[in-house]
Chain A
Amino acid sequence: MSAAAARGPLLLLRMVAYEFRKRIQFRAGFVVREVLNGTVEPLVMLFVYTALYGSAASLAEGAAEGEEVALGGWTYREIIQYVAGLVVVRKLVFHNRALDLAPEIFEGRVTKYLVMPFRFFVLLQGRFLQFTLMQLAVATLAWCIGFALAPEVWLVPVSAAATLQAVTLVLMGSYCCFLVFFILNAMAFWLDVIWSLLVMAWFVIGFTGGALVPVSQMPEGMYEVLSYGFPYWMITAPIELLMGRLGAGDFLHGAALVGGQLLALDLLRRWVWRRGLARYVGAGM
């Protein structure tokens, strides 16, 4: 491998190391941002579902003895496992606050990268890679703690292959999120309301992926539509793979869908960045 060709991966590793140092330099910030992140919504879901299934059970007193109440094809026990899966899966999803590109564009701080002999996107890919590596460790830790505390209800993957398939889909979806947030951040070349767009996008991606309600529990028509989007294959589908509700055929179908969307988003990312640079004024240099 030539020196120039070797420099690319080496540079990416340097960026990962740089991002890693940035993330862990403040301990409190690290715990709040990286460890506690994504734990509140599942807790809220737990309370809501406990109340819902409690009401449903009292309404279905006529049901056969020992028969579990199912809402939208999900029993209470499965929903608890889903919530457990959500705690782990959401840790791996690149979130809207992990990319502070818009202020850098708006305040002209990207100028320095534009005169450097490297693609600025490599720096951001380094951030994505650092995020993913760190969150894989945090998610594993979260799963172990959950399993140690409540082994009878905690989600245990049906097989190693299912785990691998689920992680692959989550990471592909996470990269799609990264691209979506990059594109929205790059809108700072035109707009100054990026924060609002990011918050809206985060909510929409979360909802359409199943962060509040499993997509397969939603009405049939809605499920049909949402199952074409990468958010579904990033949140609901991987958990269903871990639970054994989906199989290898579904994984391949999902991987193809998400792969296509990933490529389309990457093309859009390149186009937006090029158009944006042509408008860049480098405020204050």
Chain B
Amino acid sequence: MSARSGTGQHATGVDAVLEARGVRKVFRTFERAPGLRGLIKNFVARDHVDIAALDGVDLRVERGESVGLIGANGAGKTTLVKILAGIVPASSGEARLLGRDSFDLRDAEKRRLALVMGQKSQLWWDLPPIDSFRLLKEIYGVGDVDFSERLGRFSSMLEVEDRLKIQLRQLSLGQRMKMEIIGAFLHSPEVVFLDEPTIGLDLISRETIRRFLIGLAEDRAATFVLTSHDLEDIEETCRRIVVLDQGKVAFDGGLTDLSRRVTGKRAVEVHVHPGARIDEGALAAGLSGLGAEVSGRSAGSLTVLVSADRLAALVPRLFSLLDVKDLSVERQPLEHLIREIYRRGVDGPAGGPAGGPG
């Protein structure tokens, strides 16, 4: 199955919570020619351009699945979340949430939905979180007993019991995000969209939030859609991965499959001594023998991609080929990963089986 048509496996399911069929979203913007002439021309008549943020996305998410949506900046993942959650309409195609047109949700569906935005506060900035939670209690019609029980449990799990009465604006970023997450789960939603929930957080806060999400995902039959630039967020909380690239689904499959196919690569960043001469021929020959390749260069450094299992062989070879000053090893950067997935999807079958776990 092609990576770009990876949702076919779900087509026969009957309990779809989220569905996107050929969803396309085009934003119209205008281009301005440079200089004074361009300025005057733009004032009189503008040249518009259409930018396709999503280009025929098909996706089907079953009840209880936890789906990680990843992609580089501008890949379309936030736009897809906005469309599925009913915030913006699709230009064409069909998006459904809980069986209803996403852009025409009634209160009954909205009551079963939650959205956490890492870059925008859901709670009221001027109020202590406890007041916002009480307001949310009224909005969602949560009973007194459920409200007290959930608030106590969630604030304890996220370790913020002693911060509930402090004005939101006076809390740290991590504490604010924990409050956002509590607010999103107070009404026990069935579908939860989490858009970059750990962005800008320290390791401890990230870990606490991940533990919280994993706990909830295991406890309940909620459906999660998580977007993040942080692969660890996705790996720990999601069992199904959807990769978007340039508005298209480049991969849709299980985490295990994704890991096996692409996350097994490592990026070795090599810093060389200034002025050191690099024998390009010898370098290319030495790397190709290990299946490695130079994926990027900058002044005084180069990045080499290699399979994780060949890393041990590569490092001494780099020392023999280059005048190495320093060296660091990281997972393959997300952008490289996505490019690779997309290239494979376009060039031939490599996307792996769609869907799966959940």
A111 at the interface (CB under 8 A from B): yes
Minimum CB–CB distance from B90 to chain A (whole Å) comes to 11
Decide: A114 near B87, CB < 8 A? Known: A4-B141, A284-B119, A284-B120.
Answer: yes
Beyond contacts A25-B126, A115-B86: 17 other A-B pairs, Cβ-Cβ < 8 A, are A3-B141, A15-B135, A18-B135, A108-B120, A109-B120, A111-B120, A114-B87, A115-B110, A116-B110, A117-B108, A117-B141, A281-B88, A282-B88, A284-B119, A284-B120, A285-B78, A285-B119
Closest 7 CB pairs of A and B: A117-B107, A117-B110, A117-B111, A112-B122, A115-B115, A285-B117, A14-B138
Is A21 located at the chain interface by the 8 A CB criterion? Answer: yes
Do the beta carbons of B113 and A115 come within 8 Å of each other?
Answer: yes
Q: Which residues of A contact B131 (CB under 8 A)?
A: 18, 21
Residue pair A18, B124 in contact (C-beta under 8 Å): yes
Q: Measuring CB to CB, which residues of chain A are less than 8 angstroms from any residue of chain B?
A: 3-4, 7, 10-11, 14-15, 18, 21-22, 25, 108-109, 111-112, 114-118, 278, 280-282, 284-285
Q: Which residue of A lies closest to B193 (CB)?
A: A115
Q: A18-B127, A115-B115, A117-B111 are in contact. Are A278 and B89 (CB under 8 A)?
A: yes
What is the interface of chain B, defined by CB distance below 8 A to chain A?
27, 78, 81-82, 85-89, 107-108, 110-111, 113-115, 117, 119-122, 124, 126-127, 131, 134-135, 138-141, 195
- Distance between Cα atoms of A116 and B135 in the complex (Å): 11
- How close is A174's CB to chain B, nearest CB, in angstroms? 24
Taking CB atoms, residues of chain B closer than 8 Å to A22 are 126-127
A135 to B110, alpha carbons, bound, how many Å?
Answer: 35
Chain B residues contacting A115 (CB-CB under 8 Å) are 85-87, 110, 113-115
User: Chain A contacts of B135 at CB under 8 A?
Assistant: 14-15, 18
Residues of B with C-beta under 8 A to A114: 86-87
Task: Report Cα–Cα, A282/B82, bound state, in Å.
Answer: 8
Complex CA distance for A11 and B117, rounded to whole angstroms: 24
Most chain B CB inside 10 Å of its own CB: which residue of A11, A22, A116, A280: A116
Write 30 A-B pairs (CB below 8 A) sorted by A numbering: A3-B141, A4-B141, A7-B141, A11-B139, A18-B124, A18-B131, A21-B127, A21-B131, A25-B126, A111-B82, A111-B115, A111-B117, A114-B87, A115-B110, A115-B114, A116-B110, A117-B107, A117-B108, A117-B111, A117-B139, A118-B139, A280-B88, A281-B88, A282-B82, A282-B87, A282-B88, A284-B120, A285-B81, A285-B82, A285-B117
